[in-house]
Structure 1
Amino acid sequence: MSNKTKISVVLLAASAAFFTSLIGYEGYSSKPYKDSVGVATIGIGSTQYENGQRVKMTDKPITKERAIEISKAHVSKDEVAFRNSIKNARLSQAEYDLYLDFVYNFGQANWNNSSMRTLLNQGRNREACDKLLLWRNAGGRDCRIRSNNCYGVYARQLDRYSKCVAVN
């Protein structure tokens, strides 16, 4: 299947490239840390464990293998809600991965309220790409401004956007 081939989302799942990209952007931390908006995070950008318990700054360190388990469990839950939110969409694997990464990064509620979701359900995939660039803030800060200490959020959006445009 070509990276531009669009198929029903019910036939897609997070690819190996998705997880490689996720680890590349989120990095790995054995110890809890505060993310760019001050939320306790551990492993590969996880803010909660498989059982739904939120990460606390006092939690014990975890191994990289444990971090991968937590993120896979998180993604697995995200995928169900993500697929259900775009039942009418036809996506390429690249689009599926980049929008699932958006959900991992910004959350299901933000995804559900986004114009991207609406546009994808209408088959307007290229227009949905453009809406990615609207998501450039974290914690009330404009992440296009490097001194706001969240430029990585915006850089990740630029990467998603370029991948999206490339397949549309």
Structure 2
Amino acid sequence: MAVDKSTLSVAVLALIAAGVSAPVILGQFLYEKEADRLTAYRDSKGLWTICKGLTTWRDKPIQEGRHVTAEQCDTENKRRETQAIAWVEHNVKVPLTATQKAGVASFCYWNLGVGNCTRSTFWRELNAGNMQAACEQIKRWIYDSGRDCRIRTNHCAGQPVRRAQESALTCWGVDELAIFDKTVCLSADNGTFTRCQSLPHRGKTLENGSRRIAAAC
């Protein structure tokens, strides 16, 4: 599955290229998806929400009429973004890049909620290391309160767009690793194989025609 990078903004792509941390990538992506509102508003599920889609503030539900300053919003957004990435790092059992962590955090922690996410096929595929299958599962979550968001009159057309973007982030680099797995690692005579350390054949002896190659990773 080739990652469709065209779904992501220039700003997000620039951060990825710069090699910034996962919370920074997540913060920019959420700003584009959620904006940064200083006065409480109702989200699509009717929950009072503020800043970058926060429905709670220091573990207390957002109340109607709540207003915060830009500085307060920035501080709480960053705290929650760091918290989201930490949750991903603690609960996902396979290695992820900073970009992939941002994708999982947006989809799972920020949007679906950890309960829905950890019971999903996406979660099972992710923790089994089936990244491409997991990313395809993200694209299936395109319903909002029973409404099919592919239907324009349901007024949730942003949902499929967001899912495509989260899928792209979560599978960022996976297609390149798959190519490396099948060509470079199998054809090398020896070496350290440092990029193989997260691949499925780690530590195994591999066949390459008439030669047997012991993967050093």
Q: Give the TM-score, by structure 1 length.
A: 0.82
> With CA pairs under 8 Å and 6+ residues apart, which has the higher RCO, 1 or 2?
1
Structure 2, gaps ≥5 residues long: 1-20, 175-217
Contact 1:85/1:112, CA 8 A, preserved across alignment: no
How far the C-alpha of 1:165 sits from its partner, in A, is 4.5
How big is the alpha-carbon RMSD for the aligned residues of Structure 1 and Structure 2?
A: 2.0
Q: How does 1:19-38 map to 2 (within 5 A)?
A: 19-38=27-46
How far the C-alpha of 1:148 sits from its partner, in A, is 1.2
After superposition, the Cα gap between the structure-2 partners of 1:149 and 1:58, relative to the gap in structure 1 and judged at 3 Å, is same
Report the equivalent of 1:14. Answer: 22
Contact 1:44/1:68, CA 8 A, preserved across alignment: no
> In structure 1, what residue type is equivalent to 2:95?
R
How far the C-alpha of 1:117 sits from its partner, in A, is 1.8
Report the equivalent of 1:65. Answer: 71
Q: Count residues with an aligned counterpart.
A: 154
Residues 18-77 of structure 1: per-residue CA shift (max 9 Å, x gap): 21111111001111111112111011111000x211001132x21222112222232333
Identity of aligned residues (%): 24
Paired with 1:151 and 1:63, the residues of 2 have a C-alpha distance of 30
Q: Give the TM-score, by structure 2 length.
A: 0.65
How far the C-alpha of 1:163 sits from its partner, in A, is 3.6
Q: How does 1:18-167 map to 2 (within 5 A)?
A: 18-49=26-57, 51-59=58-66, 61-86=67-92, 88-102=93-107, 103-167=109-173
Residues 83-115 of structure 1: per-residue CA shift (max 9 Å, x gap): 2321x2122222111111112111111121122
Structure 1, gaps ≥5 residues long: 1-12
